[in-house]
Structure 1
């Protein structure tokens, strides 16, 4: 990767339309995020030929320039010096970007802002569950026996790891409540409490609801003649999302109208009590039914049309990443895991990331450009480890045909694993390490799927470049 210099950053400023075209700018771990007055002034071809730039794209009202981890901070410092503009916070940039989005784009952005902050906890839990799978899965090391069956002295360790790993999923509504209430402008602590209320141990567990309902043994509260089911919402996403919105709005409403002298006695207790009652009486039952309907739809679709489901999701996942639509399916994955104990969508995500990395690696052989070879190498490794942005935007979309080859390979691999019923126990690292989040009995078909996701895009990309005699 080329060294970040003041001159290279000056070139970036020039290609995005100059200082006057920059309304505000911030940065994340790998990218400069611009809010531009007029994106049509961007000279993308020249921009992407600057030695420190690894790709660029417009998304969610922001024009984003990929620089790379560590280097982006140096570029941002030069950028402030050159433009004379003070840096904007990420929230300020998101607010300005939101004004340029339609209602659907704002909805997708909202989901991303809620789920991305809790993703590290969920991925960590997924990795730890993968370790637990290795210890407890029968047939991995011994015929029809698990490691702890043969070495029972390890059973205590396995049980402890299971408790540590499953905590994020057991108390998932608390994590979502914290993030969602924060997003909606309320107090994060109240969001945590709301999530814990919805999984209180005195409530009938959502996992036991079906059996209790069949037996006619669902406990109820009698509220002035109205019977309300006393059930929890373990593993559910929609109930806590909607309840968090209601909680935040009630809290903000009360804060504006309740005198400061009694605010502590009225605002938080009032908001939590009203939201809690609404959650158990209306919000919970309605969204629980909707969530189960969504789960049943995806399960029925993939059960009846596994080949088609794998083809479409494998083909479309990477394009959805480009548009930001993939954030929607994180909620679906969590709903599937909570309702059925596993998800068939997340393994496809992992294969899609691997396919993008394989296509990027193929560009090392398809090009003579040393800078592009270096970028393809580093971005391919990144994609194999679950971070696809450098490969996706810096290499594959830049030349188009590697991107197409990657989604073809992803679709083929996805069809194979869906036909074989591959499931993930949790959301883990969306690349090669993702195998540890797969049920142990599904490891072999998933590994075969990974081989397909590596070989097909790699071969197709090199073959297309040679047949078409493409020089890059």
Structure 2
């Protein structure tokens, strides 16, 4: 047994014993369990364990927050103690997915597709933010941008913009790789499919509206049937559906074509058939659906902006708890592609900051040294865009900080929506998030951030003190 055998034993006992564990693995900071019955978990006993910083259930997995560097040591002792064997991530996913309903599986599928490409999107957003600082008028000089005054910086800003835009210009390539991998196909074919949908010979999707008005959309003439030669830059739905078709078609062909001919036939046939379907049916239909979704959100937030911002700000944190927040990343990307910016992502930033502020207030309210330390570290994490430690380790545990955070996020979301704050890219969903906001809207965004910091902190602090006084 190792140095953390006692902690491992306490964790096993708190989650219902080793007979309640189907499979166990770990990530950078958390132990992940597939349990037979989550109702057997004693959360109070679990969170009294010194090494445990919080726990929560998501996507069919019960997760125990331990911390970077420490989690692998606890996991090693836990495996040795229980003798259950080390589970691969795929085995954990299979065990967890067996407990999900169809809606939860659909949400998890979206999460599994978009989470792997999120670092590229966030990095692109940060770099675009740097470009915004250099090229935005009025930030450093009245009525002029930094590069207009210091022309020697112009080419550097242009190069940064090119590097930043790459992830968005070739977004279907990233999604194709991740989606085809998720659906069981060859990742390389997914990349080719995604890049095929943004080929330079196709009409750029961002120029489709103007070309339609002029009646200048290029077409292929396939035996008398006209197919529009349109690319799908920045689009999400076309490549998602096409990736599913490609992966399933590839698997179908591999089962039926002899091994000796697979190299010559499987990939060419799968790509050719999927390509035809993508340009003839999948692309036009899903492009229309994507435009309809965009129009729906734009209409709601244009017609009743205060209500839209208020509700999304209040409900984003509960969406994170259920895992349904992953469904809005494709919507953000669709809004950016169709309108040049998303008004939803800035509200996400308000929600994350609000959760951090509520957790920070708990540091001044709590008496336990462990809880005070957890509150501070989780608040810092939330301010940098990672809210799970704050939400599951502190705020949900005591409920009133979570409600206070929802209240602050709702007010901040309403304020920035009324002031038409938009983000042309997705960046870090915390205090550095201003870099992804158009510079002209920095002032209302900073005011919104102040609301998201002050309101949850004040509500949590006051209610916490009143609650302690009433109990004493």
TM-score range, shorter chain: over 0.9
Matched, 1:217 2:221: no
- 1:9-30 alpha-carbon deviations (Å, 9 max, x no partner): 1100001111111110011122
1:355 touches 1:410 (CA, 8 Å); kept in 2?
yes
Structure 1 length-normalised TM: 0.98
Residue correspondences, number? 470
SS in structure 2 opposite 1:421? coil
What is residue 321 of structure 1 aligned with on the other side?
A: 320
Aligned match of 1:418: 417
How far the C-alpha of 1:249 sits from its partner, in A, is: 0.5
Deviations 1:371-404 (A, max 9, x none): 1000001000000001111101000001111000
How far 1:77 sits from its partner (Å)? Answer: 1.2
1:261 Cα deviation after fit: 1.0
CA–CA distance in 2 between the matches of 1:328 and 1:124?
Answer: 20
- Tell me the residue number matched to 1:47: 46
Counterpart for residue 177 of structure 1: 176
Q: Deviations over 1:65-96 (max 9, x none)?
A: 11122221111111111111221111111111
Residue 5 of structure 1 and its aligned partner are, at CA, apart by 2.2
> What displacement does 1:468 show?
2.3
What's 2:378 paired with? 379
Matched, 1:31 2:23: no
Gaps of 5+ in 1: none
Is the 1:205–1:232 Cα contact (8 Å) retained in structure 2? yes
CA contact (8 A) 1:31 1:66 kept: yes
1:116 aligns with 2:115: yes
1:230 is matched with which residue? 229
Q: Select between 18-27 and 183-192 the one with higher mean Cα deviation.
A: 18-27
Deviations for 1:285-339, whole angstroms, at most 9, x for unmatched residues? 0000000000011111111111000000000000000000000000100111111
TM-score (norm 2): 0.98
Partner of 1:400: 399
Tell me, in whole angstroms, the C-alpha distance in 2 between the residues paired with 1:169 and 1:4. Answer: 47
Residue in 1 aligned with 2:135?
A: 136
Residue pairs, 1:87-106, within 5 angstroms:
87-106=86-105
- The residue that corresponds to 2:454 in the other structure is 455
| Aligned equivalents of 2:75, 2:68: Cα separation in 1 | 12
CA distance in 2 between counterparts of 1:343 and 1:38 reads 40
Per the TM alignment, residue 59 of structure 1 is displaced from its structure 2 partner at its CA by 1.7
Deviation at 1:469, TM superposition (A): 2.2
1:272-351 alignment runs, 5 A limit: 272-351=271-350
The 8 Å contact of residues 361 and 458 in structure 2, kept in 1 or not, is answered as yes
Are the equivalent residues in 2 in contact too, given 1:4–1:71 (CA < 8 A)?
no
* Aligned mates of 2:459, 2:68 — CA distance in 1: 30
Change over 3 Å in CA distance of 1:4–1:341 after alignment to 2: farther
Report 1:257-268 matches (<5 A).
257-268=256-267
Moved segments of 4+, more than 4 Å: none
The 3-state SS of whatever aligns with 2:99 is coil
- Per the alignment, residue 437 of structure 1 pairs with 436
- In structure 2, what is the Cα distance between the partners aligned to 1:245 and 1:189? 14
Structure 2 unmatched runs, 5+ = none
Contact 1:360 1:376 in 2 (8 A): yes
The aligned residue for residue 357 of structure 1 is 356
The residue number in structure 2 matching 1:254 is: 253
Distance 1:84 1:306 in 2: 56
Using the TM superposition, name which of 55-64 and 184-193 deviates more.
55-64
Equivalent residues of 1:98, 1:106 under 8 A apart: yes
**Counterpart for residue 198 of structure 1:** 197
CA offset digits 1:436-471 (Å, max 9, x no partner): 000000111001100000000000001111222267
SS of match in other structure, 1:101: coil
Counterparts of 1:68 and 1:422, CA distance in 2: 35
Tell me how far apart the structure 1 counterparts of residues 3 and 70 of structure 2 sit (CA, whole Å): 7
Secondary structure of the 1:185 match is coil
Distance in structure 2 (CA, Å) of the matches to 1:72 and 1:203: 49
Q: Is the Cα–Cα contact under 8 Å of residues 182 and 191 in structure 1 kept in the other structure?
A: yes
User: In structure 2, what is the Cα distance between the partners aligned to 1:120 and 1:63?
Assistant: 24
Asked if 2 retains the 8 angstrom alpha-carbon contact of 1:4 and 1:52, the reply is: no
SS where residue 468 of structure 2 aligns? Answer: coil
Identify the residue that residue 83 of structure 2 maps to in structure 1.
Answer: 84
8 Å Cα contact 2:125-2:164 kept in structure 1: yes
Query: Residue 11 of structure 1 aligns to a residue in which SS?
Result: helix
Q: CA deviation at 1:4?
A: 7.3
**Contact 1:179 1:188 (8 Å CA) reproduced:** yes
Which SS does the other structure have where 2:378 is aligned? helix
* Structure 2 Cα separation of the partners of residues 330 and 70 of structure 1: 30
- Cα distance in 2 between the residues matched to 1:70 and 1:339: 43
Question: CA contact under 8 A between 2:22 and 2:95: conserved in structure 1?
Answer: no
